[in-house]
Amino acid sequence: MNIKEMDLINQLKRMTDLVELQTELQTKLTEMGLKLVISHTDRHQTYKIKMKKFIKLNMKRWQFNRPANMERVDEIGESLFGKRQPIFFIFQCIYNQEENLFEIIDGIHRYYAVKKLNDMLEENETNSWFYNSYLLVEIKYNCTKGEYIDWFETINKCTPVSEIYTSSQDEKKEIVEEVVNIYYSKYNSHFKGANPNIPNTSREKFTEIVLYICNNFNISSENKKYLLKILEDINKQIQQIVISNNLKKLKPKITEKSLKKCNDTGLYLFLAKPEKLLVLINEYKLTY
């Protein structure tokens, strides 16, 4: 047997192995209740699934996806429950064959909203609008990490994603998320949807601010206590601007209602326009 013949045999074997793996995978997905709708490539398909089976799937957030903003989850859930109409959602996921679970690339808020509704509702005729809904799940598998990140970034072109979720900055991501979670828990009333008005912000926008401070002041696990100090000091600066009644430094017009909310909560950071907040961060002198 010559080299060409051996190469051909090896190539045929690889193709046979791939077909067997795909057949095995399709069988697994079918058993879960997923029905093939479109086969985009041999590693990329779209399936439909009934809600009552979807909520039983083993799913989690993909490591580079943003954590869910639970306020947005509540908004989606309340809207769905208020309308009580059949739900049509699509979810983009990586199928992790080793762990036999789906890692959500896009749709994390939709996922938690339907899970929350499932916890609230009973499966009966009254709630058939929910349990008989059909969802789409777009799945990729056996791709490289770079291919998954490219897919994620393409999906999120309309909603910018912080660089910490598309790179391997695990230490920085942990520090940023820790601080964001502290503020989100302590000042929850200031976090609203995707494009909130002053004196509120979104979790995504605040994540960008915290990441900006991290980068500007070389924050690491050794000096992460200074991250909170910087935010607290800038908050005090803005509070002083309010006390001195020099509000035009922050924004041309700030309502009494906004001021009252900040006075009640003690958080003034989001009274400033984003560009003004960046100026204050850049002018800040950190003393160790």
- pLDDT at position 1 is 59
143 and 221 in a common domain: no
In a domain, residue 226? The reply is yes
Cβ neighbours of residue 36 closer than 8 Å, sequence gap 6 or more: 26, 29, 45, 46, 47
DSSP H or E run through 60: strand 59-61
- pLDDT at position 64 is 81
- The SS3 call for residue 148 is helix
Please name every residue paired with 137 in a beta bridge, in sequence order, or none if there are none: 47, 91
179 and 79 in a common domain: no
In a domain, residue 20? The reply is no
- pLDDT at position 20 is 64
In a domain, residue 111? The reply is yes
In a domain, residue 261? The reply is yes
- pLDDT at position 283 is 86
- pLDDT at position 285 is 84
Chain center to CA of 179: 16
223 and 156 in a common domain: no
What residue has token string 């990490």?
145
- pLDDT at position 168 is 46
75 and 51 in a common domain: yes
- pLDDT at position 251 is 67
227 and 124 in a common domain: no
Chain center to CA of 123: 29
* Mean pLDDT in consecutive groups of 10 residues from the start of the chain, 288 residues: 60 58 80 91 91 94 83 87 90 92 93 94 92 94 87 71 54 84 90 80 87 86 87 91 76 81 91 83 81
Question: What distances in angstroms separate CA 2 from CA 7, 12, 14, 141, one per listed residue?
Answer: 9, 16, 19, 35
Distance in angstroms (rounded) separating the CA atoms of residues 260 and 255: 9
Domain boundary among 134, 161, 188: 161
- pLDDT at position 244 is 81
The letter for the amino acid at 171 is: E
Distance in angstroms (rounded) separating the CA atoms of residues 67 and 63: 9
- Interstrand relation of 35-41 and 44-50 (parallel, antiparallel or unpaired): antiparallel
- pLDDT at position 3 is 65
137 and 175 in a common domain: no
> Tokens standing for 204?
């995504």
- pLDDT at position 197 is 83
187 and 136 in a common domain: no
180 and 93 in a common domain: no
What range does the domain containing 138 cover? 33-161
Q: Yes or no: say if 57 and 102 are a contact pair by the CB < 8 Å rule.
A: yes
Domain boundary among 102, 128, 161: 161
In a domain, residue 184? The reply is yes
- Of 106, 187, 67, 219, which is closest to residue 196 (Cα–Cα)? 187
In a domain, residue 3? The reply is no
In a domain, residue 84? The reply is yes
In a domain, residue 4? The reply is no
- pLDDT at position 52 is 93
223 and 120 in a common domain: no
Show the beta-strand stretches assigned E in 99-237.
101-106, 134-140
115 and 188 in a common domain: no
Counting the structural domains of the chain, the total is 2
251 and 134 in a common domain: no
124 and 91 in a common domain: yes
Q: Yes or no: say if 92 and 45 are a contact pair by the CB < 8 Å rule.
A: no
Domain boundary among 108, 133, 161: 161
